[in-house]
Chain A
Amino acid sequence: MEKIRIIEIQKRVYANNDEDAKVLRKELQDNKTFMMNLMSSPGSGKTTMLVNTINRLKDQLKIAIIEADIDSDVDAYTILNKTGVTVNQLHSGGSCHLDCGMAKEGLEDIRYKDFDFVVIENIGNLICPASYDLGQALNVLILSVPEGDDKPLKYPKMFTKVDCLLVSKIDTLSVFDFDFMALETNVRKLNPTIQIFPISAKTNEGMEAWCNYLVEKIKQFKKADFK
């Protein structure tokens, strides 16, 4: 019998997914398709924010949305009916996050090469989506006022991984004990370079500033030479 060897590999468990994401990111860059990974808790107002954002940008950009949910297609229909852009529904089959392989399937289904801007609406969850690189150009997190200003303390990993934080439902600030300054301090401690936009997709407050930031990011991406 052959002798057993102990092989030290010290490999991060996420390394496999990270390699897939690197390949996909390169494909998206070569094709100039800007992919945004949108994460949040359930009920933070992701879909409402998206509908508002799409309607502001759809005349200047070719947009597609990939909706990921454990089940159902209610969000996909809402977006389709309210914006008319291409929507694809992914079902994670019970899994609490998307990995790069699932994102790639979703992108191929919509023939992503036809689009300038693709949003993947991740599963509503502040924990595991943070660990999986999908190959996105931008990671965006939504935190709604009713969820509370302590979330960065409870889910630190998510807040360190994102490029931009949208604080949604800002129109409800007066009825909740939500300390915006405390939130900002807690978030910046974890992530000093994060962009923070207070928004309300209902009253339109802050939506213009957010969309300007997004369009600027997409323009920079399209101009960039990734070779």
Chain B
Amino acid sequence: MHELGLVIQVIKTVEKYMKENKLSTVESIVLQVGQLSEVYPKYLKDVYPIAVEDTLLKNTELIIEETAGIGQCDDCHFNYNLVENSNECPVCSSKKFSIISGKEFLIKELHAY
């Protein structure tokens, strides 16, 4: 359950960005969370309302975009969803792969004025 610490990092980063860029209000924050990032969107959502109390973001909505965990098979070079296929290539059954996407954990954008 490390999501609370992560949400606090997000809040600190956005507050700093707001000050630096003189933004008065942020309507929403869009986070990009990869399926392979070891971060669970549900827990982020659960702890967010508590974490934003008494901050500049207390009325800011949290939007989470999930990105799929995609790998490329090292043997036949087929791209497939690692989570759905339990890390096994559906074409040639190889378990060797290189991760293409899904490890990201980013503050993608702010909707602000």
Contact = CB atoms under 8 A, between A and B. Distances in A.
By DSSP majority rule, is chain A's interface helix, strand, loop, or mixed?
Answer: mixed
A2 B109 contact: no
Interface residues of B, number: 25
Most buried by B among A6, A13, A97, A127: A13
A126 to B, nearest CB: 11
A15 to B, nearest CB: 6
B5 A5 contact: no
A7 B1 contact: no
Given A5-B111, A6-B111, A8-B108, 14 more contacts: A4-B113, A5-B113, A8-B109, A9-B17, A9-B110, A10-B107, A10-B108, A11-B106, A12-B107, A13-B106, A13-B107, A95-B2, A97-B2, A128-B5
Interface of B: 1-2, 4-6, 9-10, 12-13, 16-17, 21, 23, 27, 31, 38, 105-113
Interface of A: 2-17, 95-97, 99, 127-128, 131, 157
24 contacts: A4-B111, A4-B112, A6-B110, A6-B111, A7-B21, A7-B23, A7-B110, A7-B112, A8-B108, A10-B106, A10-B109, A12-B105, A13-B9, A13-B13, A13-B105, A16-B9, A16-B16, A17-B9, A95-B5, A96-B5, A97-B5, A127-B2, A127-B38, A128-B38
